[in-house]
A and B are shown apart, each in its own frame.
Chain A
Amino acid sequence: MSPNALCFGGDLPEAGAPCRVEVSSAGLLVAIQGLPDETIPFTHLSVTAGGFDQDQLVVKWVHGGIERTVYLKDPAVIAAFRQAAPPELMPHLERTAAHVRRARSGRRTWLAIAVGSILGLLLVLWFGSDLLVRMAVAQISVEWERPIGEAARGQFLAGQTVVKEGPAVAAVQDITKRLADQIPNNPYKFEVTVVRSDVVNAFALPGGYVIVFTGLLKKAEGPDEVAGVLSHEVNHVVLRHGLERIVKTLGIVAVVTVLAGNQEGLVGLAKQLGIELVTLKFGREQEMEADLSGLRLLHRAKISSDGLIHFFERLTDADKLQVELLSTHPMSAARVERLKAEAATLPKQEPVPFDFEWKDVQAGL
């Protein structure tokens, strides 16, 4: 007779003794290996639901001064038990069954929600609308963004050499401050890190962590170009593009998590993405959005937008400038045209020069 239940109590093993349980009109017949078979009358039994997911029938009794508990999960035995049990046990059984049904239907409901949501999300993605994602992102408070960005930055920097001081660091911080000061009601405290690498790139992480490579500073023809790139990156942060990508990448679970009001869960999920955050590609619309608001931010900070446009023009000619920036920031001639058109609409103004000397910055690299 193969066992179909686990029995606990008395001298039985702590992990439970495999046993054979059968239902008869006289009660529950329990056969434990090495012990004499017992038939316990129904009147001696109490029942509850238990175990992982509350999906098992837990039957308890006291026999010869020993308390025994048996965990039943075989549906056939549970059904037989319900059929044979006397009326006085029925209320307990019904309550237990209701509990199990609730647990199961809860799971079914959850499954239905999950399937429905996935279909919904597919539809949403199909029609190119990011409404659901934006809704979820709008629920996330700025304080919750920081640990996500911090975790990704930590993982990224672990394999890099950070430039801690010098004219380059001071210049990049100076530019970022000038830009950040012009963001109305700015909730972010921007932290810029300069990384020693020939890679021509810069990126921003949720929460305001900006990373600039020395390769970008070497290739830039002036501080306006660097300011242009930084303004673009800073706007990715302010417009919460990174979060949108995270929510999109993690998919429906993240959306449901956030909409259900649990941000802690998102941080956990995002931490699992870890380093992948750094290489998340932004969408075309996000790029355009960061370009245009980046341009306007430069204007407010009284920095010439020619640098941004000129740098992007050089980027479109990928042969001239071997750049990694392209992989995370898809570039196109259309973007440059759009920027030029937007720049033409802004009132003319005299740019205010930077306090640092660009020659010193490049010499110090």
Chain B
Amino acid sequence: MKSEILYPGAFPMVRVDLAAGESVKAESGAMVACSPTVDVESKMEGGFLGALSRKMLSGEKFFFQTLRASRGPGEVLLAPTVPGDIVMLELDGVNEYLVQKDGFLAGGEGVKIESKMQSLSRGLLGGEGFFILRMSGTGTLVLNSFGAVHKIALKPDEEYIVDNSHLVAWTATTSYNIEKASAGWIASFTSGEGLVCRFRGPGIVYIQSRNPSGFGNWIRQFIPVSE
């Protein structure tokens, strides 16, 4: 699988080239166009319960789609729903990423996707994002964000605090706790809910420059009916 980001910036799209028989896993609804050689297999990742837990608890769509070039080589165009950057990460069998539920766009055949329950206290405090996705295996992992993606690199034991709703993904070597922001910070973090993640290196944290619920609230004030 070879992939390329087209039109990088606010409205990017991903082109995935597939050899005959090769496939790519894509978030359902992400496919924009494809060659006639490509078939869509709606396969449930992680069995019935796996799919169920994603639907019920991470609020996501039921399936990942598997797009397979079953009738000869072909290409697929994929795009996220929200405007924002696309990042590609390479999984080498050793590194792993944790991804927020809305961050996954696509992954190569060898990428293993697992929904992972955050430890009880973390998930509960987070309110949403009870389940996150753990990505392992080998291949290209394509993530999308709302706004621009910013990369934070942490040295061993280095700490960094991120507003919960701005998280996109982080490496599995990075440990974290979800905390209530101390009184003075609450106003300065954009979600206004006073929940932050304290990350501890080593590893990398990807954050997005906009937060979907904040944007939703902002939009809502212009819709007269919901007053």
Chain A: how many interface residues by the 8 Å CB criterion? 42
Q: Which of A5, A51, A260 contacts B172 (CB 8 A)?
A: A51
**Is the Cβ of B204 less than 8 Å from the Cβ of A265?**
no
Contacts of B92 in A (CB 8 A): 3, 18
Contacts of A53 in B (CB 8 A): 119
**Is the Cβ of A51 less than 8 Å from the Cβ of B175?**
yes
Q: Does B130 contact A (CB under 8 A)?
A: yes
Which chain B residue has the least Cβ–Cβ distance from A268? B127
Chain B 168-227 interface residues, beta-carbon cutoff 8 Å to A: 171-176, 201-204, 220, 223, 225-227
Contacts of B119 in A (CB 8 A): 53, 106
Residue from the set B130, B156, B173 with the largest chain A CB neighbour count within 10 Å = B173
Q: Which of B94, B98, B154 contacts A4 (CB 8 A)?
A: B94
Q: Does A173 contact B (CB under 8 A)?
A: no
**Is the Cβ of B173 less than 8 Å from the Cβ of A265?**
no
Interface of chain A, main secondary structure: mixed
Which chain A residue has the least Cβ–Cβ distance from B90? A15
**Is the Cβ of B171 less than 8 Å from the Cβ of A8?**
no
Residue from the set A157, A251, A260, A265 with the largest chain B CB neighbour count within 10 Å = A265
CA distance A110 to B117 in the complex (A): 10
CA distance A53 to B35 in the complex (A): 42
Contacts of B134 in A (CB 8 A): 52
Q: Does A71 contact B (CB under 8 A)?
A: yes
**Is the Cβ of A16 less than 8 Å from the Cβ of B130?**
no
Q: Does B33 contact A (CB under 8 A)?
A: no
**Is the Cβ of B225 less than 8 Å from the Cβ of A18?**
no
Q: Does A1 contact B (CB under 8 A)?
A: no
Q: Which of A9, A69, A110 contacts B120 (CB 8 A)?
A: A110
Contacts of A8 in B (CB 8 A): 155-156, 173, 201-203
Q: Does A325 contact B (CB under 8 A)?
A: no
**Is the Cβ of A15 less than 8 Å from the Cβ of B223?**
no
**Is the Cβ of A253 less than 8 Å from the Cβ of B57?**
yes
Q: Does A40 contact B (CB under 8 A)?
A: no
**Is the Cβ of A15 less than 8 Å from the Cβ of B56?**
no
Q: Which of B56, B117, B175, B226 contacts A158 (CB 8 A)?
A: B226
Chain B 94-122 interface residues, beta-carbon cutoff 8 Å to A: 94-96, 98, 117, 119-120
CA distance A162 to B225 in the complex (A): 6
Which chain A residue has the least Cβ–Cβ distance from B213? A271
Q: Does A349 contact B (CB under 8 A)?
A: no
Q: Does A238 contact B (CB under 8 A)?
A: no
Contacts of A88 in B (CB 8 A): none
CB distance from A7 to the nearest CB of B (A): 9
A-B complex: 5 closest residue pairs judged by Cβ atoms: A268-B127, A14-B153, A265-B124, A8-B202, A272-B59
Residues of A within 8 A of B (CB): 2-6, 8-9, 14-16, 18, 50-54, 56, 60, 67, 69, 71, 106, 110, 154, 157-158, 160-162, 250-251, 253, 257, 260, 262, 264-265, 267-269, 271-272
29 contacts between A and B (CB under 8 A): A5-B94, A8-B155, A8-B202, A9-B155, A14-B154, A14-B203, A14-B204, A15-B204, A16-B95, A16-B203, A18-B94, A50-B173, A52-B98, A53-B119, A56-B173, A110-B117, A158-B223, A253-B130, A264-B124, A264-B127, A265-B123, A265-B125, A267-B127, A268-B126, A268-B130, A269-B57, A269-B128, A272-B57, A272-B128
Knowing that A253-B57, A271-B128, A272-B128 touch, tell me 7 more A-B residue pairs with CB under 8 angstroms: A9-B202, A14-B203, A15-B171, A52-B134, A60-B156, A257-B124, A264-B124
